[in-house]
Each structure stands twice: as structure tokens, then as C-alpha cells.
A and B are shown apart, each in its own frame.
Chain A
Amino acid sequence: MVRFATRWFGGWGQPHLSDESLVELHTLQRTGEHALAARYQRHVRQCESCMGRLEALREDCAELRRDVLAGVDALITPARLDRQFDIIARRLEGHAGRVLPFPVVTHRPAPAPPLRRWIATAAACGLLIGVGAGRWIGPIDAGSRTAWRPSTTSPTKAGPRLQHETDEQMLDEIDYALTRSRTKEFRALDELTPRINDARARARR
């Protein structure tokens, strides 16, 4: 359980450094911040109990640190360092083993020929004129259009039966889409794509 960090505990006559303060003091000493550690150090010099706890903490941390370093150092074999050194030496010489940077090519659009540019401009002008004219003339037969009407059935009011029907419709549509000839081309691609569950199972094996 994490508690609010307090600096001291014990009675007024015999105060002691809290665990948090002790860790802080140890950290400050380790990082060479002796000026900041001085306020706690004064107390530790006079208090045997805190001095003992600080020593125990120091030993605990040193042991933990040694274990961590030893664990990682065991992975760094002389053969590994030799191999690494050879690669560095080769790269410095500019021989094989050098990592080539990813080719950075600034992509510039090819200059369009003048004729194509004219066609594009004419098409854009035609579109603008068409839209403008359409707005000016207005709808030809407003009566024949179905006016937009707000839906009378809200989704919350729709019962479970209606919901069920729409779900069924959606699933039917998906089934139909999958059996259509147009999606056949995608099936081969889909089969080539690895499934994440298969890859996980293979990795565990």
C-alpha cells in the first residue's frame, strides 16, 4: 500500500528518518549531492538507529545493483564483444557491414505537359459554370422529389424485434457480399495474410 511520504516519525524527543527520507538520503549520497543530503546526514550522525538502517539500505541497494550488473554482464561474452568490435572496425574503414541509410528521395511531381494542363483547366471551368448555372436555375420539379422527413421511429423506441431484423439484414448483406464474384480476387490475398492467433500459437510451439 502506498502512503503519503512523511519525512520523520517517532516522538518529538526521539525522531527518526522515515523510509522515504532514508531512500532520499541514500540516493542523494549516491548521486554526489552531498550539500542536499546534509540536512539528513546531521541527524544520522547522531542517531544510531537511523545510521544502522542507512547502512542496511546501502548494503541492500549495493547487492541488488551487483546482481543486476552481474546478470546483464553474463550476457556480454568476450566473443560477442569481439564480433561487435570487428563490425565497428569494418564500418569505420568503410567496408562491408556498414549500414546504408534509407534512400531519401525528394518526390517531386513530374511537370505536366501544357496540353494536359489546358484540358484540366477547361474541365475545372466547366464544372464551376455547371454548378453555378444549376444553382441559378433551381430545381426543375420540386414536387416530384420526396421531401426529407424526420424519422418517426427513434432507435430507442425500436423494439428488440426490429433490432433483430436489422442485424439479420446486415448479416445477410455480409454473406451476399462474400459470395459475390467481385470479392473472389481478395480471397487469395486474404489466405496469404497470416492470422495473429496462428502466429502466436506457432511462436509458443
Chain B
Amino acid sequence: MSESPILSIGAPGFDVDKLVADLQATADRKMKDGVYADARVARAEKTNLVHLRGSDDFITFYLTCLRDAVFVDIADFDIRERRRFLSPLLVGLKKTIWKLLKFYTYRLWSQQNQVNGLIITALEGLEEQSAKRIAALEARIAELERKAPHHGG
């Protein structure tokens, strides 16, 4: 899925600030190219979102990841048992319970998927709307500043 950044670095004498800037620029470019529009990235970022609230670009990117994550596949995991003792028996028991509950969980699952889809659509709509509104306001301010007579002197 991912690729190594194409950087040629002579080990002696490289500058760590420049290295980080280069690697971050690589990541930014790959984000724009859609390399990270991935449900797994959305899940990985769940505890980091609090640190990214100030970044408009990242929130827009995160919404694209969420779009990928929003429709959950109810059968996308293996049933496992971490304890070694009686592990096959416990896995069998869990699988049986899982099958017996299908009539109930599938209904919840399909409803949840619908809600998830509606919420992400609404969020994307809101985000697009506010981005447009901010862009219009910025353009208006720029226009007013251009027209205003020189001041402050």
C-alpha cells in the first residue's frame, strides 16, 4: 500500500530539521494523492484527533478516511481466544453464540451502518459549507482591504 519516501541522504552531515521537513512533505503529498484515505488510518488516529483539532487540512483528510471506515463489515474479524487453556473449545463456543445472535445483531448492524452513512454525509456537507463560507469571507475581506484608503499613518 505504502512506499518508501524517495530521499537520498548522505548520512554524514544531514540536517534533522530538513530531514523531518522532507519526510513530512512526502507524507503531505501522499495524503493529497489519496494514499492514506483508508479506514485503518481513521481508526489509528482516534486518540490523536485531540491534537489535530487546529489543522483544517487534516480534518478534511480525516473525513475522507472516515468515508472509507463508515460502512462496517460485521464479519470482518476472526474469532480468537487469547488464553491458551481450552482455546479451541472457547473459540467454538464463541462462534456458536455469534451464530445464534445473528438474527438480532444483523438488524442492529444494518441500522448502525445507515446512521453512520447519514452522519458522515451530514459532516461532509457541513465541512464543505463552512469551507465555502470562510473562503467567501476571506475574499470579501481581501476586497475590502484593497478598496479601503490607506490608514494608520
Partners in one complex: no
